[in-house]
Amino acid sequence: MALVAGMRVGSRVLFRPWAWLPGAALGRKESAARGRVGARGFGSQRVLVEPDPAAGIAVMKLKSPPVNSLSLELLTEFVISLEKLENDKTFRGIILTSDCPGVFSAGLDLMEMCGKNPAHYAEYWKAVQELWLRLYLSNLVLIAAINGACPAGGCLISLTCDYRVLADNPKYVIGLNETLLGIVAPFWFKDTLVNTIGHRTSERALQLGILFPPAEALQVGMVDKVVPEDQVQSTALSVMAQWLSIPDHARQLTKNMMRKATADRLVKQRDSDIQNFVGFISRDSIQKSLQVYLGKLRQKKG
């Protein structure tokens, strides 16, 4: 077997770029929880995994009501489930979807970024980076079955997938709307978007914080297919079959070739990216903006 830049070619698992990342190792308890997934469902409180070993795929459902906001707990459970599937050679693809009606994911959890201390912000941001790196460079085919609203960090997660199917519902908007909150999408969010929809469209979408309804999302290439709500899952399954018809090693090396440079930009500056985030989010003016935004979200109800 040849070794290419640390990747073992000839076995199914071709690259584990995170294995050498600082902080990437899981604790002993978490390691013990790993192992073969088998045919029974597994998962955790916030991440349901429904494996179909015969088909070589698993459906992963985010289940952190009410809106799948990406709390530290959800990020951690997400990474653990992902790693379990990555480590089990039975699995070649994951369909990523939501168990919360009407919302794919509300993005990063605003409560994790408000009123906490710098150490907490640093821990949180490291977890956000970790999930992005693992998803973006995953060996598996990832298909997003987007069955609800998909703003900011939710959109980022979908953009790490190889293909996005969005339910045709005007409420199910998708985009990186950070500027509407008075915050800034970091460079690796931006890079992920640019790699998907191109520079000019990203520039406009990012500055204006555009949340695209389905038809526009399809038009700009933010999603690959828009289908009636009751067909999201079946469409994701048939798209998966098409992607799985390609030999893994060829597809994986090609994915790596397309994505590695983007991931490496973050890998090379993880610590400074954390410091930037902590400095930025700790500013009084930013904290105020986030509080105002949270207030508006709450008011919307009453």
Ligand X SMILES: CCCCC/C=C\C/C=C\CCC/C=C/C(=O)SCCNC(=O)CCNC(=O)[C@H](O)C(C)(C)COP(=O)(O)OP(=O)(O)OC[C@H]1O[C@@H](n2cnc3c(N)ncnc32)[C@H](O)[C@@H]1OP(=O)(O)O
Residue nearer to ligand X on the CB measure, 87 or 289:
289
Residue 128 beta carbon to ligand X: minimum distance, rounded to whole angstroms: 8
> Which amino acid makes up residue 182?
G
Site string for ligand X, 64-103 (x = CB under 6 A): --xx-x--------------------------------xx
Instruction: Indicate if 153 belongs to the active site.
Output: yes
Residue nearer to ligand X on the CB measure, 122 or 294:
294
Catalytic choice (177, 193, 209, 256)? 177
Site string for ligand X, 280-299 (x = CB under 6 A): xx------------x--xx-
Residue 38 beta carbon to ligand X: minimum distance, rounded to whole angstroms: 34
Residues near ligand X (CB under 6 A), total: 30
Residue nearer to ligand X on the CB measure, 79 or 108:
108
Q: How far apart are the first and last CA of the chain?
A: 63
Q: Point out which span in 47-55, 139-147, 215-223, 275-283 binds ligand X (CB under 6 A).
A: 275-283
Taking Cα atoms as reference points, which of 229, 236, 216, 107 lies closest to residue 169? 229
Instruction: Indicate if 177 belongs to the active site.
Output: yes
For residues 86 and 56, give the distance between their C-alpha atoms in angstroms, rounded to a whole number. Answer: 11
At residue 140, what are phi and psi to the nearest 5 degrees? Answer: -80, 160
Residues 28, 29, 40, 301: which binds ligand X (CB under 6 A)? 301
Residues 78, 121, 132, 277: which binds ligand X (CB under 6 A)? 277
Catalytic choice (108, 211, 237, 266)? 108
Residue 232 beta carbon to ligand X: minimum distance, rounded to whole angstroms: 17
DSSP readout, 228-241?
A: -GGGHHHHHHHHHH
Residue 152 binds to ligand X (criterion: CB under 6 A): yes
Residue written as tokens 């998907």? 196
Tell me the β-bridge partners of 226.
Answer: 166
Residues 17, 51, 93, 107: which binds ligand X (CB under 6 A)? 107
Residue nearer to ligand X on the CB measure, 140 or 159:
159
Instruction: Indicate if 115 belongs to the active site.
Output: no
Site string for ligand X, 37-66 (x = CB under 6 A): -----------------------------x
Residues 83, 86, 130, 178: which binds ligand X (CB under 6 A)? 178
Residue 149 binds to ligand X (criterion: CB under 6 A): yes
Q: Which residues bind ligand X (CB under 6 A)?
A: 66-67, 69, 102-103, 106-111, 149, 151-153, 177-178, 181, 183-184, 186, 276-277, 280-281, 294, 297-298, 300-301
Query: Active-site residues: which are they?
Result: 108, 153, 177-178
